[in-house]
Amino acid sequence: MNSRNLFLVLSAFVITTQAHPGHDLMAHGAAHVATSAYHLWVLCAVGLASFAVGQLVRSAANRRVFRAAGVAVLLAAATLWGFGS
């Protein structure tokens, strides 16, 4: 599987993921995302998945992009967790 296909699969996962049954990620606004542990766990999972995809990609440039995206999402989730608690 090439990096473009991996990116598309990861993007589809992000778009369809729900933090908990009942509503989409941004249905109740950014404040709810920042203060809901369920949503932050989903963001962490997306960050870890992106980093894992970076481990599988053959191209060094694409590998760096996926890894950096994964780290950025994890840092964003950690920052939001800090603001929410």
Which pLDDT tens digit goes with each residue over 12-38?
666 666 656 666 666 777 777 667 777
* Distance separating alpha carbons of residues 24 and 39, to the nearest angstrom: 10
pLDDT digits (tens, 9 = 90+) for 51-71: 888 887 788 888 888 889 889
Catalogue the E-assigned strands of 1-85. none
The gap from C-alpha 8 to its chain's centroid, in whole angstroms, comes to: 13
Whole-structure pTM value? 0.64
